[in-house]
């Protein structure tokens, strides 16, 4: 398995190279001009042109791309056009809130959605099943920002239990950290819970029809054991796959959630950079997200071996 | 150790751990009263006020960098870092003396050589600065506190140039920073203003922090806008960037922030209902809504087509789209200069007054020889002001008989596209929407958008010699009466030839917690004198 993992890690190199070329080309051909944003609305066309030249944006595509790739290979993601700060510094400033939000959402979603799906499958056709499926439809249908506003209105403005916005670093205390993340995690987790609950239910229904489940029942195994030991473990592969795929959902959702709850994370950094055309930051963040996604897929592939002994690499 | 004492010990340790984890409010009550939390209009993404001229940069910079002169609330430049000045009888030699005891945030004294370097950098970017530079014979530091500016021709508006609040403002930096190319960012943010910038706490896009500068020596006079004693009543100011207005409104209501620079009109009724919140006009100089037509391409290279648009344009439609039903927030503007300021005039404004005449507009359009080719109307959708105006314009143009090619885009793309002089259909454009701060429209010196010098003019490149003649006359006008006469002629020439289309004058609100006092109305948020109980 170690050799397989190494091969997969090596395989990320061409993937990342293609992503890099794609992102750079896309930004090159996309309209927009950071020099115009920097110069301000009162600037003359000559001012804008001089700023563009000073930023090196007037150089040919291949020169700029070659320089960027060379810097990346040397571990340098460049410097933000606007803040003059290294992109790595900006990512470091923003990574903790986003990782915190995603981890908490993931924990929350898995711990709620998997039991929900299992119980819905167990009680197929009952009101519990219908309630779970109804919740799943809602989770898919209601946009993250609507859930965010409603939660903020109820729990922050009306009840005054939680803050509306912001982020407290983990090192400043677990509860202040948690306090700022509860509402965003619930808002972001809705769609994720819905996705996992549905797939868990569907997979469990299939597994519960299998002969070995009937055998377990015939042997007098308890319902809990049947559901969580025999059935869930065998249903785990598709569930884990969906959890992994859902990371992309979380990345996308984090952009909206971080804006609604004013969390200074990577999502907001990405949006701000796109609106300003801060090319080095956009390129850096997209590369990072791509790398994380590739890595998550690798971890999921490796995790299959834990749930299904027939899978060998 | 027995089991009971072990449990006691671990229990106590656990409690300490939990309580430290629980951590009380981040700020004690005293510290909270000394910290002002402010939601700015936009993200402070860079912090060189000469390199980047966005208003948000200017607003933050006004705390950190001081100026030689500053406008008061009558738009009169008053001494700030300067102790005294003297101008020779021929108006060519200006001698300035700095106040004693001025220090930069790194502890070094502010010297005349710093001022000379700062003026040199500023004058390479600022429209008024460029004019002074063109007249400059010599700019030298005489000694540590005195500097001299010798001109080839008198420039009566010099103090206005040094004290104005339009961007880029004339901020003073240490010489080593001011020697940076004006088209590149400075590497440090060291000023001599009443607040220091905490670069170590700067998280662009999220937070910027300013700390009171203990060695700042305010002037004795009471403060008024950018003039007088800039006395800080708080120790620390935190700028918290909130891209979502609903979040900012909720944070203000919840007491998580103290002052919000620009609440959107839709949320103001909700804020007014909260007894802990005060809402008032932010800037009495307001804003002028605009759209600019491209004078170099068809159909708007013909003045009749431009006048056709103005003949049918209803400013009320635009203003209601922008501010809704709140009549306190807008007024018609049959002219180009900011209402309520000394040079405001309606000379030549008849075309924008009275009932709108679509028949006359259609006739003018026909006379212009318009052939039905598409009019590319560029509208940034990510700016509420441009989006609302763009929707009204599209309807207006269609009703007159234009074939509208509506380009919905974002502000970044608009900024790039408006600089293109290509024909329509090859990346060019026919019109784009924007707005100007009223403070930038008080006179021709600070008003790029009114200039009509062809290729050197602002986007749209109007070439109207009559306008430029009056601009030159204004610079030479000896007194206010003469200035007013010139501006009346300028306004008429600009409207007759439609330099651009003014869509009306509108104001915006600001909101703050009731425990905050000292907030002034002005073209930028002034933090001196603001306190919190």
Looking at the complex, report in whole angstroms how far the Cα of residue A80 sits from the nearest Cα belonging to chain B: 10
What integer pLDDT is reported at residue A297 of this predicted model?
A: 86
Query: If phi over 0 gives left and psi between -120 and 50 gives alpha, with beta otherwise, what is residue B172?
Result: beta
* Total domain count, chain A: 2
Tell if the CB–CB gap between A32 and B412 is shorter than 8 Å: yes
For chain B, the distance separating the N- and C-terminal CA atoms, rounded to the nearest angstrom, is 52
> Which residue from A minimizes the CA distance to B200?
A93
Place of tokens 């027939």: A310
- Asked if A60 and A172 sit in the same domain, the reply is no
Whether residue B408 is preceded by a cis peptide bond, meaning omega within 30 degrees of 0, is no
Both tokens assigned to B175: 């010489």
- Any domain includes A17: yes
Query: Residue B148: which residues within 8 A CB-CB, separation 6 or more?
Result: B93, B94, B95, B96, B138, B139, B140, B142
Alpha carbons A15 and A294: distance in angstroms, whole number = 9
Same domain, A117 and A248: yes
A187 belongs to a structural domain:
yes
Contact B205, A269 (CB under 8 A): yes
Contact (Cβ atoms closer than 8 angstroms) between residue B315 and residue B346: no
Write the CATH number for A185.
1.10.3720.10
Q: What is the pLDDT of residues B4-39, one digit of tens each?
A: 343 344 344 443 343 344 444 445 556 777 999 999
Q: How would you write B400-439 as a 3-class SS string?
A: HCCEEEEEEECHHHHHHHCCCCCCCCCCCCCEEEEEEEHH
Q: Which residues of chain B are within 8 Å of residue A165 when distances are taken between CB atoms? A: 240, 242, 247, 250-251, 256
- Residue ending a domain, among A31, A49, A73, is A73
The last residue of one of the domains, among A25, A46, A73, is: A73
Residues A113 and A223 reside in one and the same domain: yes
Residues whose CB falls within 8 Å of the CB of residue B289, separated by 6 or more in sequence, listed in order: B318, B319, B322, B385, B389, B433, B435, B502, B503, B504, B505, B506
| Residue B196 DSSP label | E
Helix (H) or strand (E) holding B259: strand B259-260
Minimal CA–CA distance to A264: which of A120, A168, A150?
A: A168
User: Does residue A111 sit in the same domain as residue A60?
Assistant: no
Same domain, A301 and A168: yes
Report mean pLDDT in 10-residue bins for chain B, 533 residues: 39 40 48 88 90 89 98 95 97 97 97 98 91 95 98 93 93 97 92 97 93 97 96 97 93 96 92 96 96 96 97 97 92 96 96 96 97 95 91 97 94 82 88 93 91 90 96 90 97 98 97 97 96 93
Chain centroid, CA A230 distance in Å:
31
ipTM score of the complex?
Answer: 0.83
Is A5 within the bounds of a domain? no
Is A84–B187 a contact, with Cβ atoms under 8 angstroms apart?
Answer: yes
Question: Do both A193 and A232 map to the same domain?
Answer: yes
> CB-side exposure of B98: number of CA atoms within 13 Å?
26
The two structure tokens encoding residue B247: 């979040």
Q: Are residues A174 and A261 in the same domain?
A: yes
The reported pLDDT for the residue numbered B127 is: 84
pLDDT at A301: 85
What is residue B299's predicted lDDT score, i.e. its pLDDT? Answer: 96
Helix axes A232-260, A279-307, angle to 10 degrees: 160
In angstroms, what CA-CA distances link B68 with B32, B148, B162, B192, B227? 33, 13, 6, 11, 10
Residue A2 inside a domain? The answer is: no
Q: In this structure, what token pair is assigned to residue B460? A: 């749209």
Check CB contact under 8 Å for A168 and B242: no
**Looking at the predicted structure, is the pLDDT value of residue A54 above 60?**
yes
Q: Which domain holds residue A41?
A: 11-73
More confident residue, B57 or A57: B57
Whether A28 maps to a domain, the answer reads yes
One domain, residues A254 and A157: yes
Is there a single domain that holds both residue A51 and residue A105?
no
CB A283 within 8 A of CB A23: yes
* Per-residue pLDDT, A248: 80
- Whether A259 maps to a domain, the answer reads yes
Say yes or no: A294 and A173 in one domain. Answer: yes
Residue A81 domain-assigned? no
Of A47, A73, A99, the residue at which a domain comes to its end is A73
Instruction: State the smallest CA–CA distance between residue A74 and chain B in angstroms.
Output: 24
Q: At CA A155, angle to CA A152 and CA A156, rounded to 5?
A: 65
- In angstroms, the separation between the Cα of residue A178 and the nearest Cα of chain B is 10
Structural contact between residues B185 and B51, judged by C-beta atoms closer than 8 angstroms: yes
**Inter-chain CB proximity A36 and B419 less than 8 Å:** yes
Residue A197 and residue A120 share a domain:
yes
Residue A48: list chain B partners with CB under 8 A: 415, 419
Question: Do residue A276 and residue B412 have CB atoms under 8 angstroms apart?
Answer: yes
Give yes or no: residues A96 and A36 share one domain. no
B281 three-state secondary structure: strand
Give the nearest chain B residue to A157 (CA atoms): B254
Residue A79 lies in a domain: no
């Amino acid at each position: 398995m170690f050799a397989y993992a190494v091969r997969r890690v090596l395989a990320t190199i061409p993937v990342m190279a293609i992503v890099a070329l794609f992102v750079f080309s896309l930004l090159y051909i996309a309209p927009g001009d950071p020099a115009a944003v920097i110069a301000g609305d009162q600037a003359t066309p000559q001012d804008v042109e001089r700023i563009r030249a000073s930023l090196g944006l007037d150089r040919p595509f291949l020169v700029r791309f070659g320089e960027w790739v060379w810097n990346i290979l040397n571990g340098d993601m460049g410097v933000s056009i606007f803040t003059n700060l290294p992109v790595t510094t900006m990512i470091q400033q923003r990574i903790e809130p986003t990782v915190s939000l995603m981890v908490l959402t993931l924990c929350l979603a898995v711990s709620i959605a998997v039991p929900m799906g299992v119980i819905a499958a167990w009680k197929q056709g009952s009101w519990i099943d219908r309630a779970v499926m109804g919740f799943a439809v809602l989770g898919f249908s209601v946009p993250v920002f609507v859930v965010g506003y409603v939660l903020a209105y109820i729990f922050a403005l009306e009840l005054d239990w939680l803050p509306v916005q912001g982020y407290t670093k983990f090192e400043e205390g677990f509860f202040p950290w948690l306090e700022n993340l509860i509402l965003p995690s619930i808002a972001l987790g809705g769609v994720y819970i819905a996705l996992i609950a549905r797939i868990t239910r569907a997979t469990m229904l299939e597994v519960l029809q299998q002969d070995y489940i009937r055998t377990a029942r015939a042997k007098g195994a308890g319902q809990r054991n049947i559901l969580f030991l025999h059935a869930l473990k065998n249903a785990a592969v598709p569930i884990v796959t969906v959890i992994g795929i859902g990371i992309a959902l979380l990345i996308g959702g984090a952009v909206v959630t971080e804006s609604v709850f004013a969390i200074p994370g990577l999502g907001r950094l990405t949006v701000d950079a796109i609106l300003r055309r801060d090319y080095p930051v956009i390129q850096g963040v997209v590369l990072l997200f791509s790398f994380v996604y590739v890595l998550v897929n690798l971890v999921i592939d490796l995790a299959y071996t834990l749930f299904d002994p027939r899978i060998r690499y | 150790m027995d089991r009971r004492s072990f449990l006691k010990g671990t229990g106590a340790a656990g409690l300490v751990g939990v309580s430290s984890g629980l951590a009380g409010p981040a700020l004690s009550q005293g510290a909270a009263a000394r910290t002002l939390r402010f939601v700015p209009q936009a993200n402070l993404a860079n912090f060189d006020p000469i390199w980047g001229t966005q208003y948000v940069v200017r607003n933050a910079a006004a705390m950190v960098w001081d100026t030689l002169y500053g406008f008061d609330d009558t738009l009169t430049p008053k001494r700030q870092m300067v102790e005294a000045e003297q101008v020779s009888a021929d108006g060519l030699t200006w001698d300035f003396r700095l106040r004693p005891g001025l220090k930069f945030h790194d502890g070094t004294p502010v010297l005349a050589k710093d001022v000379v370097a700062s003026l040199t950098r500023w004058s390479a970017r600022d429209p008024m600065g460029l004019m002074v530079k063109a007249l400059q014979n010599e700019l030298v530091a005489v000694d540590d506190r005195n500097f001299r500016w010798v001109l080839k021709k008198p420039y009566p508006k010099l103090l206005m140039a040094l004290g104005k609040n339009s961007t880029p403002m004339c901020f003073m930096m240490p010489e080593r920073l001011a020697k940076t190319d004006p088209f590149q960012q400075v590497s440090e943010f060291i000023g001599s203003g009443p607040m220091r910038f905490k670069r170590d706490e700067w998280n662009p896009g999220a937070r910027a922090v300013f700390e009171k500068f203990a060695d700042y020596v305010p002037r004795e006079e009471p403060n008024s806008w950018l003039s007088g004693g800039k006395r800080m009543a708080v120790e620390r100011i935190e700028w918290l960037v909130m891209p979502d207005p609903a979040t900012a409104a909720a944070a203000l209501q919840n007491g998580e922030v103290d002052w919000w620079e620009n609440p959107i009109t839709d949320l103001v009724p909700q804020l007014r209902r909260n007894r802990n919140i005060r809402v008032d006009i932010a800037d009495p100089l307001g804003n002028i809504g605009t759209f600019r037509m491209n004078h170099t391409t068809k159909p708007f290279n013909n003045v009749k087509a431009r006048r056709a648009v103005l003949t049918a344009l209803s400013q009320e439609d635009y203003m209601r789209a922008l501010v809704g039903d709140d009549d306190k927030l807008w007024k018609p503007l049959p002219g180009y200069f900011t209402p309520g300021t000394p040079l405001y005039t309606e000379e030549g404004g008849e075309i924008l007054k009275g009932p709108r005449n679509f028949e006359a507009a259609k006739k003018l359009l026909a006379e212009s020889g318009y052939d039905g080719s598409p009019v590319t109307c560029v509208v940034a959708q990510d700016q509420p002001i441009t989006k609302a105006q763009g929707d009204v314009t599209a309807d207006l143009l269609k009703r007159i008989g234009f074939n509208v090619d509506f380009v919905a885009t974002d502000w970044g793309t608009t900024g790039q596209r408006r600089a293109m002089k290509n024909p329509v259909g090859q990346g060019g454009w026919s019109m784009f929407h924007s707005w100007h701060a009223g403070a930038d429209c008080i006179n021709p010196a600070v008003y790029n958008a009114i200039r009509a010098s062809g290729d050197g003019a602002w986007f749209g490149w109007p070439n109207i010699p009559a306008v430029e003649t009056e601009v030159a006359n204004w610079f030479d006008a000896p007194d206010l009466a003469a200035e007013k006469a010139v501006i009346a002629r300028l306004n008429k020439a600009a409207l007759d030839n439609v330099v651009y289309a003014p869509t009306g004058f509108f104001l915006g609100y600001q909101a703050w917690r009731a425990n905050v006092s000292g907030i002034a109305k002005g073209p930028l948020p002034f933090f001196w004198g603001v306190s919190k109980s």
